[in-house]
């Protein structure tokens, strides 16, 4: 009689190769230091009208000034600009804001509406006043308004490129501010009945603000 042989089947579990566990590394929360500085320059001016009907920015030294002011003069003479210009390699003019406050009472007779505007591509020009009535960016000044007249010119990146790398919305060397073009001009909107007072009459106090970002510190 044949002997029975018992066959036993052994089952093996399939081995799965699993990737090794990775330990999460902490994410650094240290951010690079901000190397820019934002400042606001302010210039205080006055607008006056003569008995001849001409409107000018009044200068304390001569009383009778010009019908424009250059932007580079306003910035270069600002204490904030003077303080920081030597500490940075680049500056960018982000915006220019004009605020005009009437100093005449609503009962003042014969004061015409004045027009004021910014021109980025001119400097030392007294003839631009002829273009103000047709300029879309002109700010009209009504003397009998109790509220300030405001116009804010914001400059996108690359807004205007001037000589020697200067301009508005562009980075340039603060040491070349004297090459910056741009002026603010003023003119009356129409021929008025002139005030009875002789000489020169102050009609508006004007504040001109420039927002500037300095970068590339060199200290």
Asked, for residue 137, whether it belongs to a domain, the answer is: yes
When computed from its CA atoms, the radius of gyration of the chain, rounded to whole angstroms, is: 33
Report the number of distinct structural domains present in the chain: 1
Asked, for residue 146, whether it belongs to a domain, the answer is: yes
CB 88 within 8 A of CB 175: no
For position 4, what pLDDT does the model report? 64
Asked, for residue 1, whether it belongs to a domain, the answer is: no
CA separation for the pair 44, 42 (Å, rounded): 7
For position 44, what pLDDT does the model report? 92
Please identify which residue in the block is written with the tokens 């001109």: 208
Enclosing domain of residue 98: 37-217
Asked, for residue 115, whether it belongs to a domain, the answer is: yes
Residues sharing a CB contact under 8 Å with residue 75, sequence separation 6 or more, in sequence order = 41, 81, 93, 177, 180, 210, 212
Asked, for residue 208, whether it belongs to a domain, the answer is: yes
Asked, for residue 185, whether it belongs to a domain, the answer is: yes
For position 119, what pLDDT does the model report? 95
For position 201, what pLDDT does the model report? 79
For position 157, what pLDDT does the model report? 95
User: For the purposes of burial, counting CB atoms within 10 Å of the CB of 75, is it exposed (0-12), middle (13-18) or buried (19 or more)?
Assistant: buried
CA separation for the pair 216, 219 (Å, rounded): 9
Asked, for residue 5, whether it belongs to a domain, the answer is: no
For position 56, what pLDDT does the model report? 85
Residues sharing a CB contact under 8 Å with residue 205, sequence separation 6 or more, in sequence order = 44, 45, 46, 100, 101, 103
What CATH number has the domain bearing residue 99?
2.60.120.20
Asked, for residue 164, whether it belongs to a domain, the answer is: yes
How would you write the pLDDT of the chain (219 residues) with one tens digit per residue?
Answer: 556 666 566 565 666 666 666 656 665 555 566 789 999 999 999 988 876 677 888 865 455 578 999 999 999 999 999 999 999 999 999 999 999 998 876 555 556 788 999 999 999 998 887 788 888 889 999 877 778 999 999 999 999 999 999 999 999 999 999 999 999 999 887 655 444 444 567 889 999 999 999 999 997
């Amino acid at each position: 009689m044949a002997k029975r042989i018992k066959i036993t089947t052994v089952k093996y579990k399939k081995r799965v190769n699993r990737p090794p566990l990775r330990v999460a590394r902490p994410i650094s929360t240290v951010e690079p230091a901000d190397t820019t500085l934002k400042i606001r320059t302010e210039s205080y001016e006055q607008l006056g009208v003569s008995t001849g009907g001409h409107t000018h920015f009044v200068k304390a030294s001569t009383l009778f000034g010009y019908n424009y002011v250059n932007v580079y003069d306003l910035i270069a003479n600002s204490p904030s600009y003077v303080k920081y210009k030597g500490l940075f390699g680049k500056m960018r003019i982000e915006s220019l804001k004009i605020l005009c406050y009437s100093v005449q009472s609503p009962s003042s007779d014969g004061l015409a509406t004045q027009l004021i505007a910014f021109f980025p591509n001119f400097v030392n020009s007294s003839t631009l006043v002829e273009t103000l009535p047709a300029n879309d960016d002109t700010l009209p000044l009504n003397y009998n308004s109790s509220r300030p007249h405001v116009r804010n010119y914001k400059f996108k990146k690359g807004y205007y490129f001037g000589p020697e790398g200067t301009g508005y919305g562009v980075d340039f060397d603060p040491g070349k501010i004297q090459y910056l073009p741009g002026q603010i001009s003023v003119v009356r909107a129409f021929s008025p009945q002139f005030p009875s007072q002789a000489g020169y009459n102050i009609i508006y106090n004007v504040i001109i603000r420039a927002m500037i970002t300095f970068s590339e510190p060199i200290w």
